Chains A and B, each alone.
Chain A
């Protein structure tokens, strides 16, 4: 039992000898490094970036106005000017494809953003404080989870005259927040019992500090993963609603309402160039987002099963 602090150094021979020169990585940097090793996720990031660039820079790639109708050019096949042909109202399919991608991505991103904000705020409050507030929030999520998304969306769309992107995002966020709120609350409940949170209380840290410095950094992995995967479902929801005609109305192009034009058997048979590209757009975007989500999950939680 002899000791003074100086002699005790080599407790851990593995890390200590080169302790001074070694550069240390924060857990976040380590996660990033694991993510960069995941080929599938990297390819997906690359593909998604291409799609985003194509949509944002749509005016660079096409001079045609996606909403301009031309009754002389209805359901024409591919030509030099209209490489994907035109639709039933003589609008150019290629420019509609690019501009439509914008809508899908905007809907996905902003619905995810609002869901995230609501989920983090309510989940934090409920999970941290518990008690009556938590009870109220949880009963609210129960009620929201009871409402079937499709029926709710159809009802609202049927009542409202002019469906805008904002309304659309609001409806998706309104039905998606309970899931995320519950996930975050659940994580907080287990974090709350950890000793380091007790330690933060023992030094007199404020609730605000405990939530932002201790809870969120420890819950950020699953939050990001869930939000990413949620974005994919939101894009599908937008497309599905547009397909059955309850989405963003014409003349605004979306991938969903482009596909819905293929409900017409004539277009389905004779003009695959009109509906295959938007279909592929949805498929590839959603797949890429899902792969990125999986990659993030593996990166943040290396213990989760790998194939």
Chain B
């Protein structure tokens, strides 16, 4: 299944094809592998240069694992990952190292993702120290430049992370990720640990930086409203698979997969006289995410799907293009062969 059409192939920066990440489950006295936890199960998508692909899903849907696999913080079990045309999924660690300049990550928890024993200057300059042969002075100059760009002061260089608030720490993380001039940044729920007011500030900062520096983002979140604000296209993940991927506008105005519909109707709306909440019926999801070590047969969503029918238990739905650029994996829209 190739989502990629021929004409757009030139400006694709990241191309992920059939990537799987299975974690072995060890058991027994001899620690033999007795099963696999399918954190990411056959995921394919691509990201164009300069665009933001949002990935949403519940906790445990494999979205963070996917991000880590793309950055090779975890090794994929199967599949291909291409970064500007180079296959990186099976490069040795040593050979992959130069690519890390171009691919960076901003983590979720700004309190855990900065080494509290290092000063801001050390933290921000560390990527340069590791990746380049710049002198001390050059590193300092670049660090000051990026510190000011993310909205902190040059004087903050000498402070330590414990002296900053969550939002400021996330700015430090962003500065650290951007100092090597990467092309591609994975944002692993960068705002979900922050207060709502600060979320907006950090999101806007990330958007501004994207325009200034021509960045490409993979934006992971569990919050559809955050993703709507920043993304160009959105992929919805459920239990390690992409169930729907589409242009932001077409996904939000015309969600096709029942899971996406349920997620969208679950966004709370303030019901006022001028702006009444839509009266449409909410699709409520019951139950929890099934155990990814033992996923349901056929369509993995069928256990919670209000519209599930017999075929869903038997056959796994493929991701199919229903409208241009709008892919869904659901049997409701495909004919039985």
Complex contact A11–B198 (CB within 8 A): yes
State whether A15 and B164 are in contact (beta carbons under 8 Å apart), knowing that A20-B155, A195-B113, A203-B130 are contacts in the complex: yes
Q: Cβ of B200 and Cβ of A3 under 8 Å apart?
A: yes
Stretch at the interface among B102-110, B239-247, B258-266: B102-110
Given A3-B201, A195-B113, A202-B73, A12 contacting B164 (CB threshold 8 A)? yes
A202, B204: Cβ atoms closer than 8 Å: no
Decide: A8 and B201 in contact? CB cutoff 8 A. yes
Q: How many residues of B contact A (CB 8 A)?
A: 50
Contact A24–B158 (Cβ < 8 Å): yes
Expressed in whole angstroms, the minimum distance between the Cβ of A275 and any Cβ of chain B is 47
Q: Are B151 and A204 in contact (CB under 8 A)?
A: no
Most chain B CB within 10 A, of A1, A11, A15, A19, is at: A11
Q: Are A12 and B168 in contact (CB under 8 A)?
A: yes
Whether a CB of chain B sits under 8 angstroms from the CB of A198 is: yes
Cα-based distance from A284 to B53 in the complex (angstroms)? 66
Provide the bound-state CA to CA distance between A28 and B160, in Å.
Answer: 11
Q: B117 to A1, Cβ gap below 8 A?
A: no
CA distance A200 to B105 in the complex (A): 10
- Inter-chain CA distance A258–B26, complex, in Å, is 57
Give the residue of B113, B163, B167, B180 whose beta carbon is less than 8 angstroms from that of A196.
Answer: B113
Which of A5, A27, A199, A202 is within 8 Å of B116, CB to CB?
A27
0/1 interface trace, chain B 61-77, chain A, CB 8 Å (1 if under):
00000001001010000
Separation of A27 and B164 alpha carbons in the complex (Å): 14
Partner of A19, one of B71, B149, B156: B156
Give chain A nearest CB distance to B131 CB in angstroms.
6
| B contact face: mostly helix, strand, loop, or mixed | helix
- CB of B12 within 8 Å of the partner chain: no
Cβ-defined contact, A199 with B105, below 8 A: yes
Q: Is A304 engaged at the interface, CB distance under 8 Å to the other chain?
A: no
Residue from the list A11, A195, A199, A206 in contact with B165, Cβ < 8 A: A11
Known: A5-B150, A8-B201, A203-B100. A15 touches B163 (CB 8 A): yes
Closest A residue to B117 using CB positions = A217
Report yes or no: A26 in contact with B119, Cβ–Cβ below 8 A. yes
Bits for B110-145, please: 1 = Cβ < 8 Å to A, else 0. 001111111100000011001100000000000000
Asked if A209 is at the interface of the complex by the 8 Å CB criterion, the answer is yes
Query: Taking CB as reference atom, which chain A residue is nearest B200?
Result: A1
Q: Give B184-220 interface residues, CB cut-off 8 Å to A.
A: 198, 200-201, 203-205, 208
Output the least CB separation between A15 and chain B (Å). Answer: 6
Let me know if B229 is at the binding interface, CB within 8 A: yes
Closest B residue to A194 by beta carbon equals B112
Which A residues contact B (CB, under 8 angstroms)?
1-6, 8-9, 11-12, 15, 19-20, 24-28, 194-196, 198-206, 209, 213-214, 217-218
10 closest residue pairs by CB, A with B: A5-B151, A12-B165, A204-B100, A217-B117, A195-B113, A203-B127, A3-B204, A24-B159, A195-B112, A204-B97
